[in-house]
Structure 1
């Protein structure tokens, strides 16, 4: 079933929210519509990032799952979609602030600085996600892509520190499954290394 699921259908599904948000910005008479869209666009960017990073450890649990194999084949698509959502989130944020001066004024705040740093890391990762870059960079490509974990940590802090850490529960709930799976993956990796050494 999943082998017949075209990437074009996947991109169509992943485009639903951005198309809807764009329509709202262009058609809504609500002057606060851009401000309203800042948070959902960021949350969905984080969700897609979490989902993308969960694929590898999930494949350790469900090695024979057709669904997980399909997810692995399309992992880069989900990662690029996460970047696209993050870019839209950034555009909404800058547009909501209305001026470069206000954007720079907020930059030292933890939840803003971590967001910008996470997005800055995301840019080269997305730019090198094409097959040409994978072939050209060789083994260096994987080393670069590992920076996605730094971006994920920054994203967690960015989300959790909103409103001066008064409501970090949403970020914690979303990131907990990823932390648990990655913890198991790291433990399994070191256990296998010690077994080979012994």
Structure 2
């Protein structure tokens, strides 16, 4: 296994945040509605992991270090794990496992549908993230995994719909996402190695 310490560090970070948040909830440190705080933090954590995942290829291009790309799949799977935890926390703490209430929530809060569509996209990417799927799908694998940009847009829309009264935090994440998309524009992407003197392949 390449870069085991880097992989281990990412694993520890991925586990650390939910564990700490659960500790805070158990100690009564999350205020009067800890369930909602957990739901929000897990969702935001998934968005952060998605953005960090998309940073890996530009970082490899800039630095020439292959370790960034090696952990890209691991980071993507952590994004998926956080989304699963986000949805589980929502069902447990917000709905109280009352499935009948879900229909009411969908009518009142259509951003849930947007989030669920994003989850389905992440599920497709997670299921096909292994080397077997890469070999089996061939050239179609890269096309499928370009869904990540659609998923990012859905995630930001979901987040925007929730915090529409306070856009400052959302704007930060949207700006990072925009920068990551702009740098992938072919004309800009081809110039990156010349600007910093590095070499790399687009992915």
What's the TM-score once normalised by structure 2's chain length? 0.79
Give the Å deviation of 1:47: 0.5
Q: Aligned runs of 1:10-25 on 2, under 5 Å?
A: 10-22=10-22
Query: Which runs of 5 or more residues in structure 2 are unaligned?
Result: 192-203
The number of residue pairs the alignment matches comes to 185
Q: Which residue of 1 is the match for residue 38 of structure 2? A: 37
The 1:106/1:150 distance shift into structure 2, 3 A limit, reads same
Give the Å deviation of 1:119: 0.8
The 1:190/1:18 distance shift into structure 2, 3 A limit, reads closer
Give the Å deviation of 1:9: 3.7
The 1:34/1:7 distance shift into structure 2, 3 A limit, reads same
The two structures, once aligned, show a CA RMSD in angstroms of 2.6
Q: Which residue of 1 is the match for residue 85 of structure 2? A: 88
- Residues 110 and 158 in structure 1, CA contact (< 8 A), matched pair in contact too: no
CA distance in 2, matches of 1:101, 1:170: 33
CA distance in 1, matches of 2:171, 2:103: 28
Please say which of residues 179-188 and 121-130 is displaced more in the overlay: 179-188
Please say which of residues 81-90 and 116-125 is displaced more in the overlay: 116-125
The 1:31/1:184 distance shift into structure 2, 3 A limit, reads closer
CA distance in 2, matches of 1:78, 1:8: 12
What's the TM-score once normalised by structure 1's chain length? 0.81
Please say which of residues 29-38 and 131-140 is displaced more in the overlay: 29-38
Kindly provide the CA deviation profile for residues 152-196 of structure 1, in whole angstroms up to 9, marking residues without a partner as x.
Answer: 000000001114x2123212201212212321321526978xxxx
Higher helix share: 1
Kindly provide the CA deviation profile for residues 79-124 of structure 1, in whole angstroms up to 9, marking residues without a partner as x.
Answer: 0000000110010111121211222222243422211111111111
Moved over 6 A (4+): 189-192
Please say which of residues 133-142 and 28-37 is displaced more in the overlay: 28-37
Q: Which residue of 2 is the match for residue 116 of structure 1? A: 116
Give the Å deviation of 1:143: 1.3
